[in-house]
A and B are shown apart, each in its own frame.
Chain A
Amino acid sequence: MTTATGILQRPWVRWAGLALGVILAIVLPLVFDAGTNSTLARIGVFAVAVLGLNVIMGYTGQVMLGQIFFVGLGAYITAYGVSQEWNIILVFILALALTALVGLVIALAAARLGGLAIAMVTIALPIVGVPLARRLGEFTGGSQGLSARFSGAPEWAPLYDDQWQLYLVLLIGGITFLLTRNLVRGKYGRAFAIVKENEAVAASMGISPYKYKVLAFTIAALIGGVSGFLYMVVIQYTSPETLSFGHSIELVISMVVGGAGSIVGSILGGAYYVLVPQLTNIIDPNLTAMLQGAILLLVLFLLPGGLVSLPRVIRRLVRRGDQGGGPGTRSQAATPQPVAASHPSTERKQDT
């Protein structure tokens, strides 16, 4: 047990794992069929959206119910820029910068309120966003929406469109994940954690909760913009429906199910967002909402850390099972557990 984790923690193993991941990311899109590739690409899009939500909600502890608004905003900016035939690099930068700017302005007002008021202000974003998108038809195409086809494989690359799109998602999404990981593990991440733990304590330590909430909110919006750009790369079409309230709630559910405050959890959340509704739809479309709600509540009850904590929980259970038989283990086990109680050798020991 310990030797296995010891090997995993050595630097060369980590680098080898990273290299293996990169090689897989390069090779697999060439191997998979188009359907798998586009599913993977969509998972990537929403993994980035969940990652942004994690920055403000998972790491900074501010309930945010409007993340989809920033995804939709990024998608709309991208679609509009492409329809105006602007340079795609410029469109990308605009999608990020404008989304972050809108996020900053909202955060400056919302972060003043503190606590649950932030949740209630952010709930307004998708709810006002949908009629707003319909109203500003000149830019958004109204209820019809906008489509933009710019992500076909270039002629110099011997690739299919789905492969090219997946590579774009892997590249841009991968960089976003890497930068975010560095952010939340560094100085800012520690400040976020203290704000999450207790704002009054943070303030007394000289960490301004307001400043860090605004910062986290803006970064969440920025990452939402990245996700919106990728949304247009993969889905190539956006309408007011993109930023509906239901989708925003689904993003929150995905984040919690994947694992709040976790990088890997964000990827699991993206997979959940894309795959599970497909599965529940197969069972019965009328049941989808009920199953989604039930899954969320079950996860909160049984696995509060989300899917990402599953290996840890299993490992703990296994370890308890192993130790139950050894001598002197009762003192090591901090809490009485059902697994050990049912262990025959433990019971015998208690009898004597």
Chain B
Amino acid sequence: MQTFIQLVVDGLSTGSIYAALALAIVLVNQATGLINFAQGGIAVLSAYIAYQFTVWGLPLILAILASVVVSFFIGAFIERYLMRRFEKGDPDTAVVVTIGLLTLITGICAWIWSYNNLQFPSLFPLDTVTIFGAVVSVRSLGTIFVIVVIMLILQGLFLGTKLGLALRAVAINPESASFSGLKVGRLLMVGWGLAAALGAVAGAMVAPQLTLTPGMMDGALVYALAAVIIGGLSSPLGAVVAAWLIGVLENLAAVYVPFIGYDLRIAVPFILLFIVLILRPQGLFGRKVVVRV
């Protein structure tokens, strides 16, 4: 029982990291209808920027906040000067652009900071607390807490503010939105900026656990993509729940299913994905999209 609780809490903690990336992907998808494969790369870049700020002597929490702000502008910049050209065209081309972007950003990180592992300090103390007999690290609890707060802010933003309403309007129908006087381009930039800022949070959370390398987020990105499909592309809540589900199930499967073990546990989200999609193609929390000719 202790092991079980331990595994569940650890699973929720890693799941929270996938959730932060998944939220960023949902955000861009909701604003542009696009899957952004570069999201993991942007998060890595943000983590490196936060690292650089700490090297320059900023306290960790300020370094992370500064990298969140810088990342917002990087995201907005990418939308304005790169993605905008491809937004109206073939969506497949736009997806390939984000793949190129992923390669480019990873390459830039490798070029500036090299492929060597760097130590990134953790925001939370390395202490542990005991819950129901299981030893749980404060870092796990802190990560879970941060993600829940962000998810609530995002839900509030989308459902309770004018900006959120405008973002949703642009996503659903950019042309009508622009006829009603919304500045579509500006809103898309904000959407990308917010997504990059979220990615920065994910980067700062994941970097202490994995040590900082250019390819650090590749695995997390794949989990996040799986979470986004399982949760349904249109739902921030669904993405977070699915990410937690993946984190927990993966941990449990690694221990309780011998064939899977630690090296094959990355297959777990995809087995889950197949099951969910065959039963419910729009995802657990997603809306069904109707296509008209």
Contact = CB atoms under 8 A, between A and B. Distances in A.
Interface string A46-86: 00000000000100010101000000000000000000000
A190 B277 CA distance: 29
Contacts of A252: 96, 99
Interface stretch (A96-104, A130-138, A169-177, A215-223): A130-138
Given A132-B264, A286-B111, A113 B281 contact: yes
Nearest to B90: A61
A304 B110 CA distance: 27
What class of interface size applies to chain B in its complex with A?
35 or more
A183 interface: no
Contacts of A124: 222, 226, 270, 273
B267 A131 contact: yes
Interface in B4-18: none
Nearest to B103: A293
Nearest to B225: A120
B292 interface: yes
A290 B111 contact: yes
Contacts of B263: 131, 134-135
B82 interface: yes
A294 interface: yes
A293 B97 contact: no
B266 interface: yes
A132 B111 CA distance: 31
Given A132-B264, A287-B107, A300 B114 contact: no
Contacts of B104: 289-290, 292-294, 296-297
A293 B101 contact: yes
Interface stretch (A15-23, A197-205, A321-329): A197-205
Interface string B213-244: 01000110010011011000000000000000
Contacts of B86: 300
A132 B99 CA distance: 25
A65 B99 CA distance: 10
A211 interface: no
Residue among A131, A249, A288, A293 with most chain B CB within 10 A: A293
B38 to A, nearest CB: 9
Contact of B35 (A109, A120, A132, A198): A120
A300 B82 CA distance: 10
Contacts of B270: 121, 124, 128
Interface in A296-310: 296-297, 300-301, 304
Given A116-B35, A119-B35, A200-B293, A109 B111 contact: no
Contacts of A65: 99
Contacts of A128: 264, 266-267, 270
Contacts of A57: 92
Interface of A, helix, strand, loop or mixed by DSSP: helix
A194 B116 CA distance: 48
A293 B274 contact: no
B274 A109 contact: yes
Nearest to B219: A127
A292 B110 CA distance: 13
A119 B96 CA distance: 10
Contact of A253 (B92, B100, B114, B293): B100
B233 to A, nearest CB: 8
A293 B102 contact: yes
A315 interface: no
A289 B106 contact: yes
Given A124-B270, A127-B266, A290-B111, A63 B96 contact: yes
Interface in A87-141: 109, 112-114, 116-117, 119-121, 123-124, 127-128, 131-132, 134-135
A159 B99 CA distance: 43
Contacts of A121: 270, 273-274
A291 interface: yes
A338 to B, nearest CB: 18
A135 B265 CA distance: 12
A199 B291 contact: yes
Nearest to B291: A200
B88 interface: no
Nearest to B114: A286
B269 to A, nearest CB: 8
A288 B277 contact: no
Given A116-B35, A120-B225, A120-B229, A245 B218 contact: yes
B115 interface: yes
A121 B274 CA distance: 9
B278 interface: yes
Contacts of A198: 293
Contacts of A119: 35, 95
Contacts of B291: 199-200
A288 B107 contact: yes
Given A113-B281, A131-B263, A292 B103 contact: yes
Given A252-B99, A296-B103, 5 more contacts: A123-B225, A286-B110, A293-B104, A297-B101, A304-B93
22 contacts: A63-B96, A109-B277, A109-B278, A117-B229, A120-B35, A120-B226, A120-B228, A121-B270, A124-B273, A128-B267, A131-B264, A135-B263, A253-B99, A286-B111, A289-B106, A289-B107, A289-B214, A290-B104, A292-B103, A294-B107, A296-B104, A300-B93
Q: Which 10 A-B pairs have the closest CB atoms?
A: A290-B107, A293-B104, A289-B107, A293-B103, A296-B100, A124-B270, A131-B263, A200-B293, A116-B35, A297-B100
